[in-house]
Amino acid sequence: MTGSKFLPRGGVSLEVLRAEAQQELDTVVLERLHAGEDPWAFMEELPTVDELVVYLLRADAINANDGQHPSPTREYRVLRQIALDYPSLTRTVWAMLGRHGAVSERAQGHPS
């Protein structure tokens, strides 16, 4: 890992972040089951463990920026930095960027 300012919670390992994300997802599933929801109806809408890790890292970056939500350009840079800091998350980051349109906006020559 690099000395990036986006490293979360003191620069914990990806394994720890994945364990934290798995606990979060388990809690969400349990709460929804206790609320009587059908798991067939909601399981596909939940993020994967790695997607949740990226969301947590992104939230850390937003918090480090005084809670200011990033512009599309900064969003791209934050997510790209996550991929650089955690190479195992690169595929997930790029898939998320593609789903949210950030990659296509950059390819069309929008400001970066």
- Tell me what pLDDT residue 107 has: 41
Higher pLDDT, 109 or 78: 78
pLDDT classification of 111: cutoffs 50, 70, 90: very low
Burial class (CB in 10 A: 0-12, 13-18, 19+), 57: buried
Within the chain, residue ranges assigned H as helices are 14-34, 39-42, 49-64, 72-85, 90-99, 102-107
C-alpha 57 chain-centroid distance: 6
Per-residue pLDDT tens for 44-99? 999 999 999 999 999 998 888 888 888 888 899 999 999 999 999 999 999 999 88
pLDDT classification of 7: cutoffs 50, 70, 90: very low
Contact 94, 103 (CB under 8 A): yes
Per-residue pLDDT tens for 20-33? 999 999 999 999 99
- Tell me what pLDDT residue 104 has: 42
Residues sharing a CB contact under 8 Å with residue 97, sequence separation 6 or more, in sequence order: 76, 79, 103
> With 60 as the cut, is the pLDDT of residue 5 above it?
no
